[in-house]
Amino acid sequence: MTVSDFGVAAQQRPVNRQVRAVARRRAVFMALVAVTSLGLFAWMTRLLGADGIDGLDVAMLALYAGTLPWVIIGLWNAVIGVALIHLRRDWLSSVLPLDGLEDDTSAVTAPTAIVMPVFNEDPGRVFRHLRVVETSLTRTGQDEAFEIFLLSDTTDPAIAAEEERRFAAWQAVSARPARIHYRRRTDNTRQKVGNIEEFCATWGDRFEHMIVLDADSLMTGEAILRLVRLMQRNPSLGILQTLAVGLPSSSAFARIFQFGMRHGMRAYTTGSAWWQADSGPYWGHNAILRLAPFRAHCHLPRLPGTPPLGGEILSHDQVEAALMRAAGYEVRVLPVEGGSYEENPPSLLDFIKRDLRWCQGNLQYFKLIGWPVWRPLGRVQLALAILMYLSAPMWLGFIALGMTRLFAGGFAPASDVAFSEALWSAVQWGEGVALFATMMTITFAPKIMGVLDILLSAAKRRLYGGGMRILAGAMVELVFGMLVAPVVAVAQTIFIGGLKIGRRITWNAQMRDPREVRWGQALSTLWPQTLIGLAMATGLALHAPSMLPWAAPIVLAWLLAVPFAVGSAAPRLGRALQRWRLCAVPEEFDTPAEIAAALAPVEQDIVEILPSGGPVAPALANRVPVPLKPES
């Protein structure tokens, strides 16, 4: 062996150790998920099989088994995430082993494009956010390497005219007008995917990296510089996804939702990054991509067949991540908060609409998962994306079969001595209650562990306004989550059934501003949930009243779907939560200048606001709720 051979071997040893460490982590994680799943499945089998296993039991067990992987993966992601954060001093480098994690001074020289593809979005919000990004970058003193592109696919002539007007106004006040660009396609072929592809074909040779923003995205200059520095120092990195968190909102629905997502996602993402390692997620925005391999390897073909499950790939992000990894480049997530923001839907109806778009896109992965190009974990990521939406119909199917068995006499109430001796002995009843409580705990584990993460840290408690405020918000969000999940599960199940007969949802601009939900609009969308709740409550009251207390969380969620949709979008409730600082995110207590500028009244100039920042409450007060009108 020559001296140079020794050098190569020395370089390979750390890499090989890292590969073995990741393999061990994945083995441990798979074992945890498998053992937990088998234990819960055995427990359910014991309960259902007290009088023997019949065909209905087999069907129920199959559906129950299908719901387990998604929630159990969430459980262990959250547990591992909190354990790492609080038990390992170097937890970030252990889940994100990149060179330069602490680098906040080196020069940013790699040419980088910041692109925002839009489609019939509110031009006021779009240009406000882009101007904040530009100004924040300018304040860093390292903005020479960046250019900003607004890539419009807008089809509405009035919105298009407003985009052009606002871009001209932006150019007139910009300190770097030659480096801001607006392009509108008159033919939005392949939608967002085609929009990005056309940019890459036209401009891609000029840049090493591309940072993708959504119409509601906001990133600070320092957060953008950190992404580019990490890409510069880690040439094997293909995609680096940030942890985008919700902007402060005056909508009650949005603020409660993002309060739960905020602490839940932090722990969840840290745990998932620990075992996913270089095969992590890409969420389509607030991320940086290495352009050369993206252009070479991440082109998305048209799927065979016709829409909704054939044709153009709608949920492109995770496919692009899997393709980038298949090409040998790392895909990682930066599981820390800071400088990366987005806006969440302002009402339950808007949330369902967005969720069903993702559902349609994820179910297209059935036609992709068999491709031979995928690495093992890339295939797992696609499978999990499918399972995320198939869990809902399997869960509802399990409930429906359980009700069928109950009404047919398979589960008799405790007053029926013959059956109670066989099925409802005190021990078995206690086991049933224990299993129910266990499943509820597992389902909400990411949020529970996220709250624990905050409570264990004095610094984090201060960010959220103190421990009592955190606990109060967590209780509100827990009830909120229990009301939302069954409603969304019914919507997903109906939608998936409709996909089989060719029904699909149109990918239009999302509603992002707070607005009221009318009773008629809520009823026209959520009447199936209401009818299911009435049917289940009536059936249980007549045939098994002793089961009503245990079914109450689900039944009430369906019965209250319409008033919940109206009430959670009510401006009065939103203002009250703001006034009490309930379910408030840290940016409401200590508002970054960029957020204050983005949420300030349009009349105020961004350059005047950004250097000093300011309180967020007056800015939020200018987001006036408007009525939710029926869609055509």
Condensed to tens digits (0 to 9), the pLDDT of residues 352-379 reads: 999 999 999 999 999 999 999 999 999 9
Does residue 618 lie within any of the structural domains?
yes
Alpha helices in 88-220 (DSSP H): 91-95, 123-140, 157-173, 191-203
Mean pLDDT of the chain: 89
In the block, residue with structure tokens 């005190």 = 426
Token pair, residue 276, equals 């996913």
pLDDT in tens, 570-607: 999 999 999 999 999 999 999 999 999 998 876 566 66
d(CA 120, CA 327): 34
CA distance 83 to 95: 12
Residue 430 has pLDDT above 90, yes or no: no
Which residue, among 277, 208, 211, has the nearest Cα to 244 in the 3D structure?
211
What residues pair up with 288 in beta bridges, in sequence order? 211, 240
Question: Residue 546 has what pLDDT?
Answer: 80
Residue 617, in any domain of the structure: yes
Question: Does residue 632 sit within a domain?
Answer: yes
Contacts of 221 (CB under 8 A, 6+ apart): 133, 136, 137, 138, 139, 140, 142, 143
Q: What is the tens place of the pLDDT at every residue in 121-158?
A: 999 999 999 999 999 999 999 999 999 999 999 999 99
Task: Output the pLDDT for position 605.
Answer: 62
Distance (Å, whole) CA 170 – CA 153: 19
What is the β-pairing status of strands 340-342 and 218-219? antiparallel
pLDDT at 416: 45
More confident residue, 470 or 409: 470
The reply to whether 606 falls in a domain is yes
Q: Is 261:351 a contact under the CB 8 Å cutoff?
A: no
Question: Would you state the pLDDT for residue 570?
Answer: 96
Asked if residues 560 and 482 have their Cβ atoms less than 8 Å apart, the reply is no
Domain enclosing residue 617, as ranges = 595-632
Instruction: Look at the block and give the residue holding tokens 């299911």.
Output: 532
| Cβ-contact 464, 448 below 8 angstroms | no
pLDDT for 613 beyond 70: no
Query: Quick one: tokens of 177?
Result: 């007008």
The residue with tokens 């289940």 is: 536
Instruction: Judge if the upstream peptide bond of residue 308 is cis by omega within 30 degrees of 0.
Output: yes
Residue 622 reports pLDDT greater than 70? no
pLDDT over 90 at 432, yes or no? no
Whole-angstrom distance, CA of residue 336 vs CA of residue 338: 7
Q: Where are the beta strands (DSSP E) in 253-404?
A: 287-290, 330-334, 340-342
In this prediction, residues 33-62 reach a mean pLDDT of 93
Cα–Cα distance for residue pair 216/341, rounded to 1 Å: 8
For 417, phi and psi rounded to 5 degrees?
Answer: -60, -40
- Cα 556 to Cα 573: distance, rounded to the nearest angstrom: 21
Q: What's the pLDDT band for 507 if we cut at 50, 70, 90?
A: low
pLDDT of amino acid 616: 38
Question: Amino acid letter at 603?
Answer: E
pLDDT score, position 408: 76
Looking at the structure of the chain, the number of domains it has is 1
Q: How far is CA 627 from the centre of its chain?
A: 26
Tell me the C-alpha to C-alpha distance, in Å, between residue 424 and each of 41, 438, 487, 613: 19, 19, 30, 63
Residue 500 has a pLDDT of 82
Question: Residue 270 corresponds to which amino acid?
Answer: T
Give the 3-state secondary structure of 490-558: HHHHHHHHHHCCCCCCCCCCCCCCCEEECHHHHHHHHHHHHHHHHHHHHHHHHHCHHHHHHHHHHHHHH
Report helix, strand or coil for 238: strand
- pLDDT at res. 514: 79
Give domain status of residue 624, yes or no. Answer: yes
pLDDT at 411 over 50: no
Please give the residue that has the higher pLDDT: either 349 or 547.
Answer: 349
* pLDDT for 246: 94
CA angle (569, 571, 573) in 5-degree steps: 80
pLDDT, mean of residues 250-279: 95
Residue 630 falls within a domain, yes or no?
A: yes
pLDDT of residue 414: 43
Q: Is residue 607 part of a domain?
A: yes
Sequence-ordered list of residues with C-beta below 8 angstroms from that of 196, at least 6 positions apart, any chain: 115, 117, 151, 212
Please give the backbone phi and psi of residue 43, each rounded to the nearest 5 degrees, phi first. Answer: -65, -45
Handedness of CA 325, 343, 512, 523 (dihedral sign): positive
Tell me the mean pLDDT in the region 218-225.
Answer: 98
Percent of the chain with pLDDT over 70: 88
Asked if residue 417 has pLDDT above 90, the reply is no
**pLDDT tens-digit series, residues 374-384:** 999 999 999 99
Confidence check: pLDDT of 265 > 80: yes
pTM (two decimals): 0.91
CA distance 424 to 441: 23
CB atoms within 10 A of CB 549: 10
pLDDT for 477 equals 97
> Which pLDDT value is given to residue 517?
95
The number of residues in the chain equals 632
- Across 47-108, the runs of DSSP E, i.e. the strands, are none
Scan for tokens 């903005």, then name that residue. Answer: 143
d(CA 127, CA 597): 12
Q: What per-residue confidence (pLDDT) applies to 542?
A: 87
Lowest mean pLDDT among 94-103, 291-300, 495-504: 495-504
CA 566 vs CA 480, 488, 502, 569, 571: distances in Å: 13, 15, 30, 6, 10
pLDDT grade, residue 625 (50/70/90)? very low
Q: Identify whether 264 is part of a domain.
A: no
Residue with tokens 């000029």: 206
Q: What angle do CA 106, 111, 112 make, to 5 degrees?
A: 95
Tell me the pLDDT tens digit for each residue of 296-305.
Answer: 999 998 999 9
